[in-house]
Amino acid sequence: MEKYQGYQYTLPSPPTVRDKRYNHVFSVWRTGELTSLNRMFEIIPKSVVADDLGMHYHSFVNKLNRPHLLNVNHLLKLQCLTGIEISALIGLAVADIKEKSRQQIK
C-alpha cells in the first residue's frame, strides 16, 4: 500500500544579494521599535523590497496601502529577507490593518 505524500511546501529561497539594510531592520525589530510594516520603509526603500520580493513596485505599494491583501507567501519571502519570524510579521501586518481601519472610521 502506497503512502500518500501530500503537498509539501518549500520556503522561498533568499535572494542572492542581500541588502545590509535588512540587518538593520532586524535589529530595530529586536529592540521593539518596529511596530508596523510601514515603519520598515523608513529604513529600506519600498522599491528595493519590491524588487527583492519579485513584485512590481505598484503592486507592492498597493498591498502596503491595503495590508489585508498581503498573503502568507509575501510574508514568507519577507521573512527570508529580514530574518524576522513569520508570527511577528503577521503581527505587524495586523497592526497595519487595525491602523487603516481606524483611519477609515474617522
pLDDT at position 42 is: 93
Q: 75-92 as b/e, with b when 16 or more CB fall inside 10 Å?
A: bebbbbbbbbeeeebeeb
Residue 14 is assigned to a structural domain of this protein: no
Phi, psi of 63 (to 5 degrees): -70, -35
35-72 pLDDT, tens digit each: 999 999 999 999 999 999 999 999 999 999 998 899 99
DSSP string, 13-41: PPPSS--THHHHHHHHHHHT---SHHHHT
Contact 60, 50 (CB under 8 A): yes
pLDDT at position 13 is: 53
Q: Is the pTM of this model over 0.85?
A: no
pLDDT at 91 exceeding the cut of 80: yes
Domain that holds residue 88: 21-105
Split at pLDDT 50, 70, 90, the class of 6 is: low
| Chain position carrying cell 491583501 | 69
How many domains are contained in the chain?
1
Residue 7 is assigned to a structural domain of this protein: no
Residue 10 is assigned to a structural domain of this protein: no
pLDDT at position 73 is: 92
Residue 39 is assigned to a structural domain of this protein: yes
